[in-house]
A and B are shown apart, each in its own frame.
Chain A
Amino acid sequence: MTTLEVKDLHVSIEGKNILKGVNLKMKTGEIHAIMGPNGTGKSTLSEAIMGHPAYQVTQGEVLLDGVNILDKPVDERARAGLFLAMQYPAEIPGVTNAEFIRGAINARRPEDDPMSIRAFLKELDKTMSVLDMTEEMAERYLNEGFSGGEKKRNEILQMMMIKPKFAILDEIDSGLDIDALKVVSRGVNKMRGPEFGSLIITHYQRLLNYIVPDVVHVMMGGRIVKQGGPELAKRLEDEGYAGLRDELGLDIKLVDEEA
């Protein structure tokens, strides 16, 4: 079992404070969801954990099995077991999807013991069929010219191949139709098990019908303001974020709220 703990995390971007003390703890074997209105810092949390250079941590820690990872470069965090399925994956021309994924797997193995091409292709085929991806996707350049839905599937494909300890899924449901949403959920559910934990960031409860979380966190104004079980997500769907905010007596303006 591995633990991931975010402690009093403050993060700013271009001098603007976005996260104002986030606390969160999870273990492998668990799926947590973070919900919250737009502009509340959900993506900032995921990028800060992964180590995007534009996000500055001004206070706090992120501990993987008790070890602070914030002084580690992005690639070391990844090899330590973190994975971020991004909202806007970069396009890399000239590098095929298959060779990239194989490179990522081999980066986690000793140099003299790379995964054989045969074993790799077998697993890639199997995983791609779970995600209803066509074979040619393996030989296309990484994310180049992929549709929004293809990019999301490709993020999940990488996750399944790399097998991280913790996967943060940043709005993996945005821009997906219901069929694609089911496919992506199938992939995540397949990963469920004692060696895998996931932090799912979403606006909508819909995704959580397919991937049922153990814990739901609600984020507003750069903090986690409430925790609960899957029923919390359902309540938010019915009542909206404003209702919860008012109940908690928070003085936060929601971005999408009419003035």
Chain B
Amino acid sequence: MTVETKDYLEIKEYAQKVGEPDWFTALRLKALEALPQLTLPSFEKIKYQRWPIQLKGALKQRHSKPELLQQLSLKDAAHLVVQLGQETVTTKGLDLFEEQGVIICDWQTALREHPTLVKKYFMKKAIKVDEDLLTAQHVAYLTSGLFVYIPKNTVLKDPLTSYFVQDATEKQDYVHHVIIVAEENSEFSYLENLTTLGQTETTANIIVEVIAGTNSHVKFASVDRLGRNTTTYLNRRGHLGTNAKIDWSMGMMNDGNIVGDFDSDLVGDGSHSEVKVVAISTGNQVQGIDTRVTNSGKHTIGHILQHGVILSRSTLTFNGIGHIIKGAKGADAQQESRVLMLSTKAKGDANPILLIDDNDVTAGHAASVGRVNQEQLYYLMSRGLPKKIAERLVIRGFLGPVLAEIPSQLIREQLKVTIERKLVDGQKDE
């Protein structure tokens, strides 16, 4: 037995305290036992292995002070879940959804009240527990999350908004799991906001699983603003059934080092994933974003569009992976990754990777790494705009094609505001 008794005891003690069902604790222990055989996942041109990205154990129940939230000006929404650290602080307007049979609850509640559903979907379809070291650590030390279940034929027109606020006012890992299950013929729209309070050096391990059933349509949007001293592994993965569609719109506006692993598995015939990513790196941070779409089903469509901007001495890497499996007749894999560097010390990369194992398919890619167009800057400044404002306008133009493709007006506007703020802050380091 390679697992230390200390971890066992900690997990058992924690499970007792939060009243966790035995089957889940057993799953944790299984993950813990698997750790020695597992390695860190590797992503092309993203060197993160030496970061403090591994969870160090110490599974503990913690209570954050809700008044901390007053430091953030969270935008209100009609249907809202706000979590701080391990706990839910506020919910609003969920009853309208629940009347239609929708389940929206935090992680501990889901384990207690919906074990059958959680057992069916938790790291079973989209991601496997023992996929790699980080996924197994995730299961062993998971402490918070959200479970969303949309029953068959249920169409929710209004979006659900979540705020997940990492409490970094003291040293504690943030291990968070979101499951969205959209059953047959359902429609669901979701906006996730990840953010950090506090400056303590911490590790975050966040996994989001979206399981889109036959003919379902999920619009998943996120605005990620994790803190400067948070080192993050962020894995979002979609599993798509027949004719299912997921629209991903992700704004990577974090301030710390992060690996973003965004994948869609087009399993069902005719399924379709649209992945839009905008990212801004500032200061000294490194953001590595690995976006993959795997076409397994016939006539599946996977499109990746990612644009990013790099300021100061920061780094941004975009991998775009289009993988067409043999037998995926009529599949379409398209991708475009573009990176704009604002300083000579910035480091950027855009790597298109197409892996095609069938002949009867269409695929294409475009990638570029470039600097700000001096003629554009000169033109804007010749009208009296200071250089920094002119730069922000050029950047906005550069990100525009991705923003324009984001289906929701609300999210477009919110992203614009976040982008502006991140750029203004980032320019202070220039």
Listed in ascending order, the chain A residues whose CB lies under 8 Å from chain B are: 50-53, 73-75, 77-79, 83-84, 86, 89-95, 100, 103-104, 107-108, 141, 158, 162
Contacts and interface: CB of A to CB of B under 8 A. Distances in A.
Contacts of A162: 383-384
B417 to A, nearest CB: 15
A217 B399 CA distance: 45
Nearest to A47: B378
A107 B376 contact: no
Nearest to A50: B382
B382 A74 contact: yes
Q: Ordered nearest first, which 7 A-B pairs have the shortest CB separation?
A: A94-B400, A94-B397, A90-B379, A78-B384, A104-B383, A74-B381, A75-B381
A103 B376 contact: no
B390 interface: yes
Interface in B388-430: 389-390, 393-394, 396-401, 403
A79 B383 CA distance: 8
A75 B387 contact: yes
Contacts of A94: 393, 396-401, 403
Contact of A90 (B373, B384, B386, B401): B373
Interface string B237-248: 000000000000
A67 B182 CA distance: 68
A206 to B, nearest CB: 26
A66 B401 CA distance: 46
Contacts of A86: 379, 382
A108 B387 CA distance: 14
Contacts of B367: none
B58 interface: no
Nearest to B400: A94
Contacts of B394: 92
24 contacts: A74-B378, A75-B384, A75-B385, A75-B390, A84-B382, A86-B379, A90-B373, A90-B378, A92-B376, A92-B379, A93-B400, A93-B401, A94-B397, A94-B398, A95-B393, A95-B396, A100-B393, A103-B385, A103-B389, A104-B383, A108-B384, A141-B397, A141-B400, A162-B384
A231 B400 CA distance: 51
A95 B387 contact: no
B5 interface: no
Contacts of A100: 380, 383, 393
Given A52-B378, A75-B390, A107-B383, 8 more contacts: A53-B378, A75-B381, A78-B383, A79-B384, A91-B376, A92-B397, A104-B385, A141-B397
B375 interface: yes
